[in-house]
Amino acid sequence: MKQLHAILEGIGNTVLLAVRSGRYLNTLPRQFPRFIDQCYQIGYSTMPIVTILSFFIGSVLALQSGYSMSNFGAKQFIGSLVGLSMARELGPVMVAILVTGRVGSAITAELASMKVYQEVDALVTMNIPPERILVLPRLAAVLVMMPVLTTVANLCGWYGGALICKYTGFISVEPDSYFATLKRFMEMKDIWDGLIKAEVFGFAVVLVCCNTGLSTRGGPREIGAAVTRAVVISLILILVLDYFVTKALL
């Protein structure tokens, strides 16, 4: 019962944090330097790992599907399989997981440390709402950067698949043929659906990580516990939201 109460309280606080942050939307233009800094942290700093991982995920996907599909002569459809899988599912989910690990954990650690060392209390006594300067720029930045990261992930995955198809002996599908089937079986809606999912995941992850950081109480030991909690909640949330958003978009 106590755990259920804590879960409901956590959900309520997270929603309230989103509403409170939204109230300060008009202050975003004058917080432009903070917004750019967060875009750098969330976007630019995450780009290398997104590039490398998505390239290899696309490659493995092509390899596995090539291995299965070549048995019944359907290897010319590998392009569409990799294309759709990356755009609709793997791209947004993988980017959200990477953002959780790379950015979400850092956000929680920073905000939890600010809370534990009373910097958040100092902001409150200075009549500077923490939601305005600590949460809003991060939410705005993740909404801008998630589509960029997901698009890069999709492209890297597709090209990783194409490379494997060309240079793996038992597949041997030329890039022209690979991209031709990718285009034939994909629509712009598939790309948009993936980007919408990425936006939802990114917003949820940053919101949960901010709320967990700002709810931290106690000493320095709690900072580590808060980071673990935020990452676990975010990962579960990504997969739960994935089901519901996919169902809503189909």
- Residues in contact with another protein by CB under 8 A are 114, 117-119, 121-122, 124-128, 133
Place of tokens 């008009």: 26
Query: Cβ 127 to another protein, closest distance in Å?
Result: 4
Question: Residue 247 and residue 153: Cα distance in Å, rounded?
Answer: 22
- To the nearest 10 degrees (0 to 180), the angle between helices 47-69 and 136-167 is 40
Query: Cβ 145 to another protein, closest distance in Å?
Result: 21
Tokens at residue 153, please?
A: 């992930």
Query: Cβ 120 to another protein, closest distance in Å?
Result: 9
Q: Which is nearer to another protein, 24 or 203 (CB)?
A: 24
Q: Which is nearer to another protein, 119 or 242 (CB)?
A: 119
Beta carbons of 96 and 201 less than 8 angstroms apart: yes
Beta carbons of 130 and 24 less than 8 angstroms apart: no
Beta carbons of 77 and 182 less than 8 angstroms apart: no
Question: Residue 170 and residue 21: Cα distance in Å, rounded?
Answer: 54
Q: Which is nearer to another protein, 34 or 75 (CB)?
A: 34
Question: Residue 83 and residue 165: Cα distance in Å, rounded?
Answer: 13
Q: Which is nearer to another protein, 3 or 127 (CB)?
A: 127
Vertex 65: Cα angle to 60 and 70 (nearest 5): 130
Query: Cβ 44 to another protein, closest distance in Å?
Result: 18
Tokens at residue 191, please?
A: 């790309």
Question: Residue 31 and residue 13: Cα distance in Å, rounded?
Answer: 24
Query: Cβ 237 to another protein, closest distance in Å?
Result: 28
Query: Cβ 12 to another protein, closest distance in Å?
Result: 17
Question: Residue 110 and residue 98: Cα distance in Å, rounded?
Answer: 18
Query: Cβ 123 to another protein, closest distance in Å?
Result: 8
Tokens at residue 16, please?
A: 């309230």
Tokens at residue 190, please?
A: 């598939």
Count helices and strands in the chain by DSSP H and E runs: 12, 0
